[in-house]
Structure 1
């Protein structure tokens, strides 16, 4: 045991809290100051790192701490040269000497042992372009459970006032893993799942308390309300982020190596429209004081019932626990995607509108939560004798077969269970061809969640009689749609390419289209296209639908590096 491990640092009582601080919104420093006052700069980065004695602590090439400088002002948006808010020399000193014998440390910049000095000459508003460097931490040969220390980061520069950063590092502390979940095979939409929520402390030391966080997406709710929990519902904004979040606190100690379970299963109710919704939970170690602060977080309302208890679970198989615990539910439900056609009429030289309809007849929504909301595509052929003069924003010109062009249209997801959208095409009648037809079609997919495939295609009938424009396979138009992954199928391997950056109409469930179609055709997908009808030839729709799989979605934040001298280029 190193000397540092015998010191009881006050900040270490907050170890385990940093993971939850994102629940409490904090604004960047932007206070106005006098012209001769120093510019306030905050050194930012992770303020806590826990090192496990039982795992590899993540990718050894990736730092756990990303150091940046946050300067006042509105962050630059747009293209071109980014104007600095400060020009002049400054230094950032990173002192990790307290970690000698505690952990291995890799510092950025000009490092001399466990101390590094970074220099700079410009600062920009915000922190995106003010990157200092990363700090990588790993256990060493001398690391033991309970070892801890701090890294101190300070700054100095004429005309600057730096707020320092302290990074607490603990080796072999409490390390919670969560009990795995599995869904009953007969579970359906509208059912309530009694989740056997639990944890195991796989770390080397006890925890003063625990915090349980759980989340349900839009189709999930929690019928019970507990006095030691706080709840927040999100019902506006992106459908991807709507749902319920909860925080529960447990002040009693969590012994090292012991397993615990909730005193009663956590009830997880699903709506009638639910399909591939997500329930997830996790436990983290935290002290009683910090736990109380979490429950008072902004926008969380306290529960009203009795407290939810946590009890020892006895012997537990480590294979039943994992770092992440989540579940897709239900796996059984259906929706009905339907296309409707149009039957405009006009003389030669007239411009007419063919309004294509797309709707979900439910009962389920298309959640597409794991894929992050990839779009559904359908194809549109142009009737013979007509030219498209204006296409919907969410549609782009596309090659549909060898030598044949049509349109590929996109519907954004998630898609509400009662969504109804409109895709108006303006057609110029170049010559009257009685009963000219253009097919509108979803891919011929093997989709077990779409309950009715007879309405997956429709027709634009130009200058026709009273024949139907919707439903059925109709006439054979040549070509066969290739296989495509249905929305929410769990494949998670669909290739979205660069297309389908469609607007918000699909997620809002309102009539009308919005946004842009992206690069589905490589050309301008808006008005002014001169695409002549191809005699009602069928569109090959095998690639017209992006797979809406259930693989874990990952958002990669690309950070631009600030260039030295005279500002930086966005």
Structure 2
């Protein structure tokens, strides 16, 4: 059973940026509270190695990042033993082991003292370096296989399913982009550096370099080369576009082992409405040559701004006779000053929980609203109307001063004087308050039918 691996970065340019990206889940939650599963994680999920030189300097080795994880956060898992079998690499590649691995012939047992729960720790536990063997031809391929065991502190023995990494020898450039550290606590109007560099770890030169930026709306890049071209990425709302794509072409040759760097510094200036911002950077050769390891061709500069966004909801007060249908216009508004965007995760910026007033029936509801039972449970009926409660997803991004209308058509079955239904703004998941919202008092409202005189 091979567990999917995630790439090093989630890139906005991989699909329509406005739709957002949902990071691939590594595993489902365990079916039973006391069950658990051990996993071997490998990044990248496959290795493409530059062909070794017959004479002279060799291409830089490639790092295969291995780690162990387990599912159940309630368990503490220790004494991880990762067995790495490289017998499938004979004549194809050579391996250098880290200190926590004990090699014996074509296998090594690597120790991981404490195994983290999936998603809780991305620290690389077993960095193995691999390079093509001298004489290995382009196209030669092999496989690295893994087995693993670990023990819970209650004494349960865990065993990982089958896992492996395919290895192939190829020839071409391999532009590996240097990581960009995040910037936090940045004030609106401030500027942060966005240096871009990439080393060619391949065996062939990169004849020309293309740098592509995907920049969220709250940032403006300064210092770009004159030949850079920008355009909105994905769909926006009117004149507002959440992401801008910028392409910059450089006529340079980056030989194997050399590093490409921008000819002049590039910086990002934070707008007054900035909050959770990012610049996704991708670098590739311009001559159409296949990059040997595209997983390391990109990185992300995350910028967290010290700012707030006052989210608020509004209900409605309506008067109607029995048998009549009225529209309760529930509204959400971002009072700013910041916009809010979850472009990386694709999650809504929040949800609006709407309870239908007594004596009324919802006969038409917004598409973004899911029916629920009165206590918030799943609504079993295939018909979306008629539920006593609705949970409405807001968009994955909202501009400052943006309003989202959520019209509910309510049929008055029985006139109940002063019948009240609740409108409550909630986070997209969980119960923690929205960290950027400075005024939780306006996160609640009411739908009132036939208020008392």
Could you say which residue in structure 2 is the equivalent of 1:450? 437
> 2:258 and 2:338 mapped to 1: Cα distance?
41
Larger Rg: 1
Alignment correspondent of 2:215: 216
Cα pair distance change 1:170/1:254, threshold 3 Å: farther
Cα pair distance change 1:375/1:221, threshold 3 Å: closer
- 1:393 match: secondary structure: coil
Structure 2 counterparts to residues 362-511 of structure 1, below 5 A: 362-374=336-348, 376-401=350-375, 405-443=388-426, 445-465=432-452
Q: Of 135, 159, 165, which aligns to 1:142?
A: 135
1:324 to 298, 305, 328: 298
User: 1:311 matched to which residue of 2?
Assistant: none
Structure 1 residue 431: deviation in Å? Answer: 2.9
* Alignment root-mean-square deviation, CA: 3.8
Per the alignment, residue 200 of structure 1 pairs with 199
Match of 2:231 in 1: 233
Structure 1 residues 389-426: Cα deviation after superposition (integer angstroms, max 9, x where no partner): 33333323211318993122222222222221222222
Normalising to structure 1: TM-score of the pair? Answer: 0.45
1:344 to 278, 300, 318: 318
Task: Tell whether 2:265 aligns with 1:257.
Answer: no
Q: Does 1:273 align with 2:289?
A: no
Distance across 1 between alignment mates of 2:285 and 2:92? 21
Give the match for residue 50 of structure 2. Answer: 52
1:379 deviates by 1.4
Q: How many Å separate the matches in 2 of 1:267 and 1:188?
A: 15
Contact 2:348 2:393 in 1 (8 A): no
> Within 2, Cα distance between the matches of 1:402 and 1:189?
39
Post-superposition CA distance 1:235-279 (Å, at most 9, x none): 772479853323333333323323343243212223222222220
* Separation of aligned partners in 1, 2:365 and 2:253: 63
Distance 2:251 2:202 in 1: 18
Closer, same or farther: CA 455–348 of 1 in aligned 2, 3 Å: same
1:247–1:57 CA distance, 2 compared to 1 (3 A): farther
Between the two proteins, the alignment pairs up a number of residues equal to 292
Deviation at 1:349, TM superposition (A): 3.2
String of CA shifts for 1:293-337, please: whole Å, max 9, x gaps. xxxxxxxxxxxxxxxxxxxxxxxxxxxx95431122234322122
- Describe the SS at the equivalent of 1:438: strand
Q: Which runs of 4+ in 1 moved over 6 A?
A: 56-59, 138-141
CA contact under 8 A between 1:50 and 1:173: conserved in structure 2? Answer: no
Is the alpha carbon distance of 1:186 and 1:420 closer, same or farther for their aligned partners in structure 2, counting shifts above 3 Å?
Answer: closer
Q: Distance in 1 between matches of 2:64 and 2:277?
A: 30
- How far does residue 382 in structure 1 lie from its aligned partner after superposition? 1.8
| Structure 1 gaps, min length 5 | 1-19, 23-48, 60-100, 104-137, 150-168, 292-320, 467-570
**CA offset at residue 368 of structure 1?**
1.0
Please tell me whether the aligned partners of residues 388 and 425 of structure 1 are also in contact (alpha carbons under 8 angstroms): yes
Question: Distance in 2 between the 1:242 and 1:279 partners?
Answer: 12
Contact 2:185 2:304 in 1 (8 A): no
SS at match of 1:249: strand
CA–CA separation in structure 1 for the residues paired with 2:366 and 2:249: 51
Q: Aligned to 2:441, what secondary structure does the other structure show?
A: helix
Return closer, same or farther for 1:382/1:371 CA change in 2, 3 Å cut-off: same
